[in-house]
């Protein structure tokens, strides 16, 4: 994957021979004769939220160092200048303005949930940014990759396909209404299940601390459900699933929207055997060329991370890959507009196979391909669930629902 970026050589809109890195004649911000400067903003400090992003900088640096070891981008070495926003919108704006106005970076890698209020400023100044989703399709300069929430009011049948393949026929959906994305996800699961002939027996709210797993076990029995769908904190889903198994409830499918965490298995063990989790990227356990390249780059260039298998690390790695892809497509004399225009022409971006193919030309399109992992029989590790024939690169791919 590290050497697969296309070598698209675009000119600078001139009839003269295209500039090369060595010529040093490219006038774009952050671009010199032999280097190109990119900014990174993420919460390095700021309490508990920073713990979730602690692997970001190592992953970004690993992907950049691997690219530089392979010759950089059009002969230029990529340099990263980072700032800490402490997950604060005001500090994010300060960091972005400093990187753009003072440090003169070409573009930004954004691994922060505090970027929203600054998105319009970035667009107004034509700053390319790759990273976490900030309003899909609302800002043409911002690029992200697929998630459960990509696509505006568009449902897909993929989750129903997975449940049906596992033998599920009637599902109970359990949701924690305090979770920010809960309402949207519940709306996604219902149509997906029914499209595949899986009956939705009902929905149970599970507000943290206000009810018990036993209440959900009773609801499963009363409904005659053989499938448990959870839009919950991973620990809460684990509590319910364990209680159901202990009570003798026979579940054919137990599917959680979150919880692909080795720590969870280390804590709960065999009690979680058979639990499935939705994943929006290649699982760390897959022996694919893309995952092998990811692990190799992390081990070589960021050995300080003893375990690189975190969603934050992979997300940052892919965001960096996306930035490098845009730089490559922008040509030997890159411009910010050339970067933006070039990436918008990509219809199958996959970071070499780390994520399902994503159409960057249509950022509001529904994400139809997902990965599913299941805890093994001993509850010691997650294993990818092989998709039906015809799916893409190990991902389960469905169709949008009208």
Please indicate, yes or no, whether residues 274 and 294 belong to a single structural domain of this protein: no
Tell which phi-psi region holds residue 137, choosing left (phi > 0), alpha (psi between -120 and 50) or beta: left
Closest CA to 301 of 313, 311, 319, 310: 313
Pair 159, 188: CB distance under 8 Å? yes
CA-to-CA distance for 186 and 156, rounded, in angstroms? 13
Question: Is 111 part of a structural domain of the chain?
Answer: yes
The alpha-carbon radius of gyration of the chain (Å, integer) is: 22
In this predicted model, what pLDDT tens digit does every residue of 266-315 receive, in sequence order? Answer: 999 999 999 999 999 999 998 889 999 999 999 999 999 989 999 999 99
Domain CATH code at residue 241: 3.40.50.2300
Whether residue 172 is found in the same domain as residue 29? no
Give the count of domains, the chain.
2
* 270 plus 182 within the same structural domain: yes
Is 3 within a domain?
no
pLDDT of residue 390: 63
Per-residue pLDDT of the chain (402 residues; tens, 9 = 90+): 333 322 222 223 333 333 445 445 789 999 999 999 999 999 999 888 899 899 999 999 999 999 999 999 999 999 999 999 999 999 999 999 999 999 999 999 999 999 999 999 999 999 999 997 776 568 999 998 755 544 444 689 999 999 999 999 999 999 998 876 676 777 889 999 999 999 999 999 998 778 999 999 999 999 999 999 999 999 999 999 999 999 999 999 999 999 999 999 999 999 999 999 999 999 999 888 999 999 999 999 999 998 999 999 999 999 999 999 999 999 999 999 999 999 999 999 999 999 998 899 988 888 899 999 999 999 999 999 999 876 667 899 999 997
Whether residues 121 and 263 fall in one domain: no
Question: What pLDDT is stored for residue 49 in this prediction?
Answer: 86
Q: Dihedral of CA 233/185/149/292: which sign?
A: positive
Q: Are residues 124 and 212 in the same domain?
A: no
C-alpha span between 374 and 159 (Å, rounded):
14
For the entire predicted model, the pTM comes to 0.87
What is residue 265's predicted lDDT score, i.e. its pLDDT?
Answer: 97
**What are 390's two structure tokens?**
């015809």
Q: Is residue 7 part of a domain?
A: no
Identify whether residues 326 and 394 lie together within a single domain. no
What is the signed CA dihedral for 305, 308, 311, 317, rounded to 10 degrees? 90
How confident is the model at residue 17, as a pLDDT?
36
Assess if residue 125 is contained within a domain. Answer: yes
**Same-domain check for residues 246 and 372:** yes
Q: Are residues 228 and 374 in the same domain?
A: yes
> Same structural domain for residues 270 and 346?
no
pLDDT of residue 5: 27
Residues 296 and 261 in one domain: no
3-state SS track over 357-383? CECCCCCCCCCCEEEEEEECCCCCCEE
2, part of any domain: no
| Residue 133, phi then psi, degrees to nearest 5 | -65, 130
Structural domain boundaries enclosing 207: 155-279+368-401
**Tokens 């568009």, residue located:** 154
Residues 70 and 185 in one domain: no
Is residue 205 one of the residues assigned to a domain? yes
Note whether residue 174 is domain-resident. yes
- Residue 43 counted as domain residue: yes
Same structural domain, 268 and 180: yes
């Amino acid at each position: 994957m590290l050497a697969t970026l296309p070598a698209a050589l675009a000119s600078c809109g001139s009839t003269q021979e295209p500039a090369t890195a060595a010529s040093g004649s490219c006038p774009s911000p952050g671009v010199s004769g032999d280097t190109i400067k990119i900014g990174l903003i993420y919460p390095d400090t700021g309490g508990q939220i920073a713990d979730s992003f602690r692997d970001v900088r190592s992953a970004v640096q690993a992907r950049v160092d691997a690219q530089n070891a392979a010759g950089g981008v059009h002969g230029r070495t990529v340099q990263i200048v980072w700032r800490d926003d402490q997950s604060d919108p005001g500090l994010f704006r300060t960091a972005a303005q400093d990187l753009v106005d003072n440090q003169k970076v070409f573009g930004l890698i954004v691994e922060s949930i505090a970027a929203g209020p600054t998105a319009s400023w970035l667009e107004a100044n034509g700053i390319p940014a790759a990273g976490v989703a900030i309003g899909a399709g609302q800002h043409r300069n911002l690029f992200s990759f697929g998630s459960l929430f990509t696509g505006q009011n568009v449902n897909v049948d993929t989750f129903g396909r997975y449940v049906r393949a596992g033998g599920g026929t009637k599902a109970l959906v359990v949701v924690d209404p305090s979770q920010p994305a809960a309402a949207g996800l519940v709306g996604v699961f219902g149509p997906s299940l029914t499209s595949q002939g899986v009956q939705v027996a009902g929905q149970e709210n599970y507000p943290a601390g206000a009810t018990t797993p036993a209440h959900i076990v009773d609801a499963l029995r009363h409904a005659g459900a053989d499938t448990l769908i959870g839009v919950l904190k991973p620990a809460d889903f684990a509590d319910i699933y364990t209680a159901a198994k202990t009570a003798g409830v026979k579940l054919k499918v137990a599917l959680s929207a979150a919880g692909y965490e080795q720590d969870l298995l280390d804590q709960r063990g065999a009690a979680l055997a058979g639990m499935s989790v939705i994943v929006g990227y290649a699982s760390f356990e897959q022996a694919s060329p893309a995952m092998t390249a990811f692990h190799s780059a992390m081990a070589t260039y960021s050995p300080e991370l003893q375990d690189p298998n975190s969603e934050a690390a992979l997300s940052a790695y892919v965001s960096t890959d996306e930035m490098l892809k845009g730089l490559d497509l922008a040509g030997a004399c890159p411009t910010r507009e050339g970067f933006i225009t070039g990436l918008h022409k990509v219809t199958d971006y996959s970071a070499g196979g780390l994520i399902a193919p994503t159409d960057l030309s249509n950022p509001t399109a529904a994400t139809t391909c997902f990965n599913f992992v299941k805890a093994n029989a001993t509850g010691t590790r997650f294993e990818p669930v092989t998709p039906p024939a015809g799916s893409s690169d190990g991902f389960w791919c469905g169709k949008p629902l009208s």
